[in-house]
């Protein structure tokens, strides 16, 4: 598994470098983006190819995790429609239909679901994670960094199930290879193809880890909470203002910080990494605590997020 992890990193880094030199599927600067020059957005292909190759090798050597076929099928659907969207700009309704189909396959048919949460809510959770990860992929080094912290945490939490631990580790390693050329200033972006699949995998592997009783569902949420909180809060703010939530914008907290004088991409992503690392360490420590202590620290994290948002709105971003 250690060899496969390094192999995933090497394949992803090599392919990302190769694709960064090709003017194919360029992300053009606009009034809603944070970059100022045309940049390839094909890094997601490097991540996915590295993951597919190393995952197949893991299957040949060790076998598969529960529901792997449906996870792979759903990820394939998500990747396909996202690649079409990167190339042709597919209407949002068609993207949503495919995303709901993929979520239905993996939750209902693949039986990757938690007993204490209604199935429909879990399907919506998967679709929301697909889109929020895509919303949050708007700054150099950001989405790739979240993948390393988030899936790395899930890997450690899944240590009692080596195959699931391996799958999470391969995802994190593939994203680390991509991050070599995506760290600010980025030479390439992952695009919808990478971001939406990572969101899908995050949701399904959090649910699967909970179903297999490897870790509580809420610890998986905490690991990815820097993305979940920012995107969810901004979504509700835009709904209240009656804005078109499917349209691109620059009102996420990370986007507003990156545009702030004296901040920029590097400083913003550095502090976001501090937050991600804190969430990961907290999730790992809480995993060995009794239920009551877990609930206490979850409430504490909720209060910390409220305080952080209040501070940003009142003192930094007003």
Residue 90 pLDDT = 87
Q: Which helix (H) or strand (E) holds 159?
A: none
Residue 198: how many other CB atoms lie within 10 Å: 33
**Distance (Å, rounded) from C-alpha 273 to C-alpha 43?**
20
DSSP string over 27-89? E---TT-S--S-EE--HHHHHHHHHHHHHHHHHHHH---TTHHHHHHHHHHHHHHHHHHHHH-
Residue 34 pLDDT = 64
Residue 141 pLDDT = 93
The residues, ordered by sequence, that sit 6+ positions from 122 with a Cβ below 8 Å of its Cβ are 103, 107, 113, 114, 207
Q: How many residues does the chain have?
A: 318
Helix H segments across 138-248?
142-157, 162-179, 191-211, 217-223, 225-240
**Distance (Å, rounded) from C-alpha 243 to C-alpha 264?**
26
CB 249 within 8 A of CB 32: yes
**Distance (Å, rounded) from C-alpha 227 to C-alpha 206?**
14
**Residue of 236, 215, 211 lying closest to 224 (CA atoms):** 215
Q: Going residue by residue through the chain (318 aa), what tens digit of pLDDT does each one get?
A: 899 999 999 999 999 999 999 877 787 766 565 666 788 899 999 999 999 999 999 999 998 888 889 999 999 999 999 999 888 888 889 999 999 999 999 998 888 989 889 999 999 999 999 999 999 988 999 999 999 999 999 999 999 999 999 999 999 999 999 999 999 889 999 999 999 999 999 999 999 999 999 999 999 999 999 999 999 999 999 989 888 777 777 888 998 998 888 888 899 999 999 999 999 999 999 999 999 999 999 999 999 999 999 999 998 887
Report DSSP state, residue 312. Answer: I
Range 91-104 burial, b when 16+ CB lie within 10 A, else e: eeeebeebbebbbb
For the chain, the domains span 2-316
Residue 245: how many other CB atoms lie within 10 Å: 16
Residue 87 pLDDT = 81
Q: Residues 75-118: pLDDT tens digits?
A: 999 999 999 988 888 888 999 999 999 999 999 888 898 988 99
Q: Which helix (H) or strand (E) holds 105?
A: none
């Amino acid at each position: 598994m250690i060899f496969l992890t390094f192999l995933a990193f090497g394949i992803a880094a090599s392919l990302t470098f190769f694709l960064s030199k090709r003017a194919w599927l360029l992300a053009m600067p606009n009034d809603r983006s944070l970059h100022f020059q045309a940049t390839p957005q094909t890094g997601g292909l490097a991540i996915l190819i590295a993951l597919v190759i190393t995952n197949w090798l893991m299957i040949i050597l060790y076998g598969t995790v529960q529901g792997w076929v449906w996870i792979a099928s759903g990820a394939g659907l998500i990747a396909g429609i996202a690649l079409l969207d990167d190339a042709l700009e597919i209407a949002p309704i068609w993207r949503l239909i495919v995303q709901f189909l993929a979520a239905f396959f993996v939750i209902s048919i693949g039986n990757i679901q938690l007993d204490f949460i209604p199935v429909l809510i879990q399907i919506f959770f998967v679709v929301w994670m697909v889109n929020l990860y895509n919303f949050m992929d708007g700054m150099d080094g950001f989405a790739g960094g979240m993948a390393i912290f988030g899936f790395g945490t899930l890997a450690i939490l899944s240590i009692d199930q080596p195959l699931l631990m391996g799958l999470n580790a391969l995802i994190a390693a593939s994203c680390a290879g991509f991050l070599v050329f995506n760290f600010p200033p980025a030479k390439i972006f992952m695009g919808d193809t990478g971001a939406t699949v990572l969101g899908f995998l995050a949701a399904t592997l959090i649910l699967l880890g909970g179903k297999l009783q490897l870790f509580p569902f809420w610890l998986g949420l905490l690991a990815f909470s820097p993305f979940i909180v920012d995107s969810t809060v901004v979504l509700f703010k835009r709904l209240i203002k009656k804005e078109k939530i499917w349209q691109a914008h620059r009102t996420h907290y990370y986007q507003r910080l990156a545009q702030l004088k004296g901040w920029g991409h590097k400083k913003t992503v550095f502090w976001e990494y501090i937050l991600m690392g804190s969430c990961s360490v907290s999730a790992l420590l809480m995993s060995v605590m009794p239920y009551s202590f877990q609930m206490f620290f979850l409430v504490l994290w909720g209060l910390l997020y409220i305080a952080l948002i209040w501070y940003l709105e009142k003192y930094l971003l007003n």
